[in-house]
């Protein structure tokens, strides 16, 4: 069901604390994010880098004037698929108090629409294998597990995945 009071917009600096708080408010984020204020400088630096890149966007959802969800949409040129563009969706979260209202579904659909407008031929995302509900959620939106994702940690800090 589409929430009529739901609006999408690019994130602004004033949203950053709420965004980090949403990222930390889940079983995996609890171990890898730090919502303590003042925020670590790395969050501000990442926000600025995303904001200044024309192929990167941090998108927030608002419901009744309240920060309700977030995702990052990155557009990537690719030599594969005949030199087409692809979109990558990362960092999807819905405020824990607002889950179950369809906000995440509408946020993903909005991002897909933006990718289509920019001429992308493919939208991709990853989700942790320990999140069966998230996997079902993405499959319900048409995503398929066609590839095996792999990651290599480069940071020295030990972060529990």
According to DSSP, the residues that pair with 9 across neighbouring strands are 60
Give Rg (Cα) of the chain. 16
**Residue whose entry in the numeric block shows the structure tokens 């889950």:** 99
Tell me the pLDDT band of 159, cut-offs 50, 70 and 90.
low
- Supply 9's token pair: 């917009």
> Residue 1's pLDDT is what?
42
- Supply 58's token pair: 């941090």
What are the distances in angstroms from CA 128 to CA 82, 124, 151? 29, 14, 11
> Residue 150's pLDDT is what?
87
> Residue 25's pLDDT is what?
94
pLDDT at 139 over 60: yes
Residues 72-125 have pLDDT tens digits of 999 999 999 899 999 999 999 999 999 999 999 999 999 999 999 999 999 999
For the chain, the 3-state helix, strand and coil shares in percent, each to the nearest 5, are 35, 25, 40
The domain segmentation of the chain, as residue ranges, is: 11-140
DSSP alpha helix (H) spans, the chain: 16-24, 29-32, 41-52, 80-83, 103-117, 132-140
For residues 66 and 156, the model is more confident at 66
Residues 18-62 have pLDDT tens digits of 999 999 998 889 999 999 999 999 999 999 999 999 999 999 999
> Residue 148's pLDDT is what?
87
96-135: b (≥16 Cβ within 10 Å) or e:
eebeebebbbbbbebbbebbeeeebeebbbebeeeeeebe
- Supply 43's token pair: 């969050």
Tell me the pLDDT band of 138, cut-offs 50, 70 and 90.
very high
Write down the CATH superfamily of domain 11-140.
Gcn5-related N-acetyltransferase (GNAT) (3.40.630.30)
């Amino acid at each position: 069901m589409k929430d009529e009071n739901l609006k999408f917009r690019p994130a602004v600096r004033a949203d950053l604390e709420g965004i980090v708080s949403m990222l930390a408010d889940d079983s995996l984020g609890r171990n890898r994010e730090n919502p303590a204020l003042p925020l670590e400088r790395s969050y501000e630096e990442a926000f600025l880098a995303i904001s200044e890149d024309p192929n990167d966007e941090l998108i927030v959802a608002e419901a009744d004037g309240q920060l309700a969800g977030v995702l990052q949409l990155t557009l990537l040129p690719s030599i594969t698929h005949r030199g087409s563009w692809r979109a990558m969706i990362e960092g999807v979260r819905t405020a824990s108090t607002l889950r179950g209202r369809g906000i995440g579904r509408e946020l993903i659909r909005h991002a897909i629409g933006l990718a289509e407008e920019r001429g992308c031929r493919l939208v991709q995302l990853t989700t942790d294998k320990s999140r069966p509900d998230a996997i079902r959620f993405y499959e319900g939106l048409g995503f398929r597990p066609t590839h095996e994702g792999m990651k290599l940690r480069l940071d020295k800090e030990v972060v529990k995945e």
